[in-house]
Amino acid sequence: MDSFLKIVNHPFKFRLYLFNKLPAAFFSGIRIVDCTDEKCVTSVPFKWLTQNPFKSTYFASLSMAAEMSTGALILNFLYKKDPPISSLIVKMEAKYFKKAIRKTFFTCEDGMEIEDAVNRAAKGGESVTIVTKTIGTNKKGEIIAEFLFTWSLKRKSEKR
């Protein structure tokens, strides 16, 4: 297991990472449940910091957890990459199917496609886009939401 997956799958180390890099996710209680090269599962609780006035999880909190399930896979393949690759979300689409009134789990299974896109970006100067999909479910397995994130990956220019 490479270093990034060790950080992401270690609860204490990852919480430190969130506190330093993504404090909104840290305070919202977003967690990585499991992350491998192939897939990533995140969770977001329904609590005071993540609620909306309609007694469900706020869409922005759901979006953070959804993005993290795709973003952790992206970061896994970018970690210590030579040459370095920049990443940016250029589009997001969401569909909501059911009220999120308890913990919601997001699963992205696009790891191998992401690895391929990162490798293509490393080879050339052109940006590579990839659409990643993540599905949010509750503990019963009912679908809460579906997100599509379009990521742009590009080899960083060499410093002169």
Q: Smallest Cα–Cα separation from 32: which of 21, 22, 43, 24?
A: 43
Of all residues in the chain, the percent with pLDDT exceeding 90 is 74
Residue with tokens 């809460």, as numbered in its chain: 144
Looking up tokens 């469900």 gives 56
Tokens of 137: 């479910």
* pLDDT band for position 6 (cuts 50, 70, 90): confident
Q: How far is CA 115 from the centre of its chain?
A: 14
Tens digits of residue pLDDT in 15-72: 888 899 889 998 999 999 999 999 999 999 999 989 999 999 999 999 999 999 999 9
CA distances to 49, 85, 99 from 25, rounded to whole Å, are 10, 24, 20
CA distance 96 to 113: 25
Residue 82 binned pLDDT confidence (cut-offs 50, 70, 90):
confident
CB 78 within 8 A of CB 8: no
Instruction: Give the percent of the chain with pLDDT over 70.
Output: 97
Estimate the crossing angle of helix 59-78 against helix 111-123, to 10 degrees: 60
Q: Mean pLDDT, the chain, as a whole number?
A: 92
Order of strands across the sheet that contains 40-44: 31-35, 40-44, 104-108, 128-137, 143-155, 85-96
The torsion defined by the Cα of 12, 29, 3 and 116, in degrees rounded to 10, comes to 170
